[in-house]
Amino acid sequence: MVIRLMRNRAIPIAIALIVIIATGGVYTLQSQARAGDRSLVVSTTTSLYDTGVLDVIEDEFEAETPIDLYFISVGTGLAISHAQRGDADMILVHAPSKEQTFLEEGYGVCRKIIAYNFFSIVGPADDAAGIAEMEPMAALDALVEKGRAGEIIWVSRGDDSGTHSKEKELWTDAGYDLATLRDEDWYREAGTGMGKTLQIAEEFEAYTLTDMGTYLKYFKDGLVSLEVRVGAGKELINVYSAIAVNSNTNPDANFEDALTFIEFLVSEEGQGTFESYGVDDYGTALFNPAVSLLRDASDPTTAGWIEDTAFFDGSECPSGYRTGGESLYG
């Protein structure tokens, strides 16, 4: 009497499959793995990463140094949270108030303002709120008025991102109470990224606040037909900064390489990349280099705007938070 333990062919086939998958899998991952263990984790915001400028910066930087750049692109809130937990070595974000807290709570040091552009209020072709060319504050008043009259809709990011923070600041500066606004019918919260938010606004033929990078791309690809209604002004300035994680708070943080990368970002080469990115595709640069603007006197108005929005105690990085990177602040 013979009991077959298993059907004859199952075992060898199973073993063959296991061996193939195991060796194939491990081999693939090994061959793809980058040589060397020197990596720098940069937590950044989606509105910066999605424009693609950081891929260009990454290629340039990695061509010159043995450092491997790892960009983690999430919302600003999460980017900062990553850094606080020690999962990033530095952050590249655009939320000055959150950045200030980051410095003051001891998580970050050596902040440098890298680049700037402007947020815009975009809206439907018919501009039902009639805000074209208005000053930002006046435009917000008009939006609230028309919104409450049921004539227009506003879509908010609603996700605690840098853009959302700016939006909240704008409403507050214009004298509105956010808690009240959020309950009103015409104020809709998307709770998602910039691209999605634009698409939602497009669907509703609504107004929204957007960064130029995402907007230009979506507009050019025909994904939205909303147009810029209010495009510049002190209140709409969007400032991007880099902050290294404080190695006193997070001993495992790769501070040395973070400093090297920040030095690259403020160098002529890094700044040049920000200055030229987007011109080929959109006819206009998506960013403006900030370092020379703040250093020279060529455009005191814009420099003044940056100082008002993004300086803390009169400086981009108060002296108490410059440990290890004093050379950045010639």
Which residues contact another protein (rule: CB under 8 A)? 1, 3-7, 9-10, 13, 17-18, 21-22, 24-26, 28-29, 32-34, 41, 46, 50, 52, 55, 58, 70-73, 85-87, 193-196, 214, 217-218, 221, 223, 250, 252
Instruction: Copy the structure tokens of residue 262.
Output: 């920040």
Q: Residue 222 is encoded by which pair of tokens?
A: 């025909």
- Provide the 10 A C-beta neighbour count for residue 159: 20
> Residues 6 or more apart from 209 whose CB is under 8 A from it?
119, 120, 121, 122, 156, 157, 163, 166, 167, 170
Distance CA 190, CA 163 (A): 13
144 in Cβ contact with 172 (< 8 Å): no
Alpha-carbon distances, residue 143 vs 134, 152, 186, 187, 208 (angstroms): 11, 7, 10, 10, 10
Number of helices and strands (H, E) in the chain?
15, 10
From the CB of residue 9, how many other CB atoms can be counted at a distance below 10 Å? Answer: 8
